[in-house]
Amino acid sequence: MKDVKISLPDLLKARNRKQEETKTIHFSLAKEYENLGKDKTYYIFTYGCQGNEADSEVMAGIFEKMGYVKATDPYLSDVVILNTCAIRENAENRIWGVLGNLKGVKRENPDMLIGICGCMPQEEKTTNRLLESYPFVDLIFGTHNIYNLPKLIKEAYFTKAKVVEVLSCQGGILEDAPKHREHKHKAWVNIMYGCDEFCTYCIVPYTRGKERSRAKEDIIKEVSDLVKQGYIEVTLLGQNVNAYGKDLGEDYTFGDLLCDLDKTGIKRIRYTTSHPRDLDLKTIKAMATCKSVMPQLHLPVQSGDDNILKKMNRKYTHQMYLDLVKTLKEYIPDIALTTDIIVGFPNETEEEFQNTLKLVEEVKFEGAFTFIYSPREGTPAAKLKDDVSLEEKHRRLDELNVLVDKYYKEGNLKHLGNVEEILVDGVSKNNPDYLCGYSKHLKLVNFKSSDHSLIGKLVNVKITEAKTWFQMGELVDE
């Protein structure tokens, strides 16, 4: 059977995007797809960032609108979708491994439909590899055409051919899509899509398209509706939320949005992720004055060395970053700052690495995601020669992690003895007698309780012990 190739990815096209107006697509399900999933099940494996988690909630919503029910066992499901991440090679390797497992499953159950979507298919090399070496994959689609899922599924069913649709355009905005949200008390809310920063190591601007902001009315309505449904917390999502509104050509920017969302009555607002260059005073003031905006911020620094920052195209120096942290602490004294750091960028010297350690010591981040640089084909940094051995990169990562963990624990110690407000997520993974949730500062807190009616509620917990990655506490009677 011949493949149905509607469109293939093109990284060059993704980079050289034009200044086209952003299209808003209003989702509605055509009648012909309404019963396609009758008596059938679906399962979505999600990898990578919160953006992917939010996309999977939309896909789940679309599946359910088509009549599908979520499978309890992925390997017995009628449709399995892998929503993938391309940020680093090890993220991709994990997914190739899962695909390898699915090969055997498909042999046992040839009627199973296997689809792969998200950032990986946006890369030419991945889609070519899928086409050449993974004949059991039925459906390949990208990040810009989730709205087309019903049509793609139908085509895969009826043609029994491999259906490929990966768009490398700048991407649109999807409104009115159904969502099956993972939680009943906290929700992701996309406020913008794409990224125009083009950090030299990063594949995201190519896989996720141009920066495009949702209309503020649509965001405010979504959050207001969530409040009516009883949601307590929203996390505003975007690759660079601080650039919100820039593409709309109005004066209304991220700080204004925070203030308007504060008025909806939602109790907790968080946002991720930020770019230091675009984090402005208006936003910091909004964080300080809006009660619902939590005193916590993830502010990726990537490196503490000016030469490396320049090579990364981060557009700030380590001093600019430190000044920003100073301003943040002036306005929000108890702010809990976390970050992302990459070690082993091509040709990073020991001295440059030491500058990163110095910056970590100065800021005392209360947590960090740390990574070894991973070359991504098609990005400028991937063309650089690199004289640092992988062994040395691992050594640097280990050294950095020791320091990061020290301040992680110091951050957790700050609240010892305090009564903190916790939004209860569920039963603790390590002990069924304990519940766990997050404090305002995004600290993971475990406390003893068998009262499952507390899940999804705000409770007061006295912090009794600080571990490196979490806190222990005792429920306080109201």
195 touches ligand SF4 by CB under 6 A: yes
Taking the alpha carbons at both ends of the chain, their separation in whole angstroms is 66
353 touches ligand 5AD by CB under 6 A: no
197 touches ligand SF4 by CB under 6 A: yes
Could you tell me which stretch among 11-19, 368-376, 400-408, 454-462 binds ligand 5AD (CB under 6 A)? 368-376
| Total chain residues near ligand 5AD (CB under 6 A) | 12
For ligand 5AD, which is the closer residue by CB, 36 or 404?
A: 404
- Residue 197 interacting partner from ligand SF4, ligand 5AD, none (CB closer than 5 to 8 Å by kind): ligand SF4
Cβ burial of 160 (10 Å; 0-12, 13-18, 19+) is: exposed
**Are the C-beta atoms of residues 368 and 328 closer than 8 Å to each other?**
no
Using CB under 6 A, which of 302, 338, 355, 439 touches ligand 5AD?
A: 302
Shortest spacing between CB 378 and ligand 5AD, in angstroms: 11
Using CB under 6 A, which of 210, 376, 396, 441 touches ligand 5AD?
A: 376
**Are the C-beta atoms of residues 468 and 457 closer than 8 Å to each other?**
no
- Specify the DSSP class assigned to residue 215: P
Using CB under 6 A, which of 199, 226, 343, 435 touches ligand SF4?
A: 199
- Residue 141 interacting partner from ligand SF4, ligand 5AD, none (CB closer than 5 to 8 Å by kind): none
For ligand 5AD, which is the closer residue by CB, 9 or 276?
A: 276
For ligand 5AD, which is the closer residue by CB, 202 or 363?
A: 202
Using CB under 6 A, which of 48, 205, 304, 411 touches ligand SF4?
A: 205
Contact positions with ligand SF4 (CB under 6 A) in 221-240: 239-240
49 touches ligand SF4 by CB under 6 A: no
Cα separation, 379 vs 199, in Å, equals 9
- Residue 373 interacting partner from ligand SF4, ligand 5AD, none (CB closer than 5 to 8 Å by kind): ligand 5AD
Shortest spacing between CB 342 and ligand SF4, in angstroms: 9
| Total chain residues near ligand SF4 (CB under 6 A) | 10
- Residue 371 interacting partner from ligand 5AD, ligand SF4, none (CB closer than 5 to 8 Å by kind): ligand 5AD
Cα separation, 366 vs 296, in Å, equals 10
Q: Closest Cα partner for 428 from 448, 443, 458?
A: 448
Shortest spacing between CB 45 and ligand SF4, in angstroms: 22
Cβ burial of 365 (10 Å; 0-12, 13-18, 19+) is: buried
Cα separation, 242 vs 253, in Å, equals 8
Q: Cβ contacts of residue 183 below 8 Å, gap of 6+?
A: 425, 456
371 touches ligand 5AD by CB under 6 A: yes
Q: Cβ contacts of residue 123 below 8 Å, gap of 6+?
A: 9, 11, 86, 203, 206, 207, 377, 378
For ligand SF4, which is the closer residue by CB, 205 or 245?
A: 205
Cα separation, 120 vs 124, in Å, equals 9
318 touches ligand 5AD by CB under 6 A: no
- Residue 234 interacting partner from ligand 5AD, ligand SF4, none (CB closer than 5 to 8 Å by kind): none
For ligand 5AD, which is the closer residue by CB, 293 or 312?
A: 312
Cα separation, 436 vs 445, in Å, equals 5
Cα separation, 405 vs 426, in Å, equals 25
Cα separation, 172 vs 48, in Å, equals 21
The long-range contacts involving 146-151, CB below 8 angstroms and separated by at least 24 positions, are: 146/55, 146/58, 146/59, 146/62, 146/117, 146/174, 146/177, 147/25, 147/27, 147/174, 147/177, 149/59, 149/62, 149/63, 150/29, 150/30, 150/33, 150/36, 150/62, 150/66, 151/33
Contact positions with ligand 5AD (CB under 6 A) in 121-160: none
Residue count of the chain: 478
Contact positions with ligand 5AD (CB under 6 A) in 60-99: 87-88
For ligand 5AD, which is the closer residue by CB, 292 or 339?
A: 339
Cα separation, 344 vs 340, in Å, equals 14
- Residue 195 interacting partner from ligand SF4, ligand 5AD, none (CB closer than 5 to 8 Å by kind): ligand SF4
Cα separation, 292 vs 231, in Å, equals 13
Contact positions with ligand 5AD (CB under 6 A) in 178-207: 201-202
SS3 429: coil
For ligand SF4, which is the closer residue by CB, 118 or 456?
A: 118
Could you tell me which stretch among 25-33, 65-73, 197-205, 257-265 binds ligand SF4 (CB under 6 A)? 197-205
Give the residues lining the site for ligand SF4 (CB under 6 A): 195, 197-199, 202, 204-205, 239-240, 275
Give the residues lining the site for ligand 5AD (CB under 6 A): 87-88, 201-202, 300, 302, 340, 342, 371, 373-374, 376
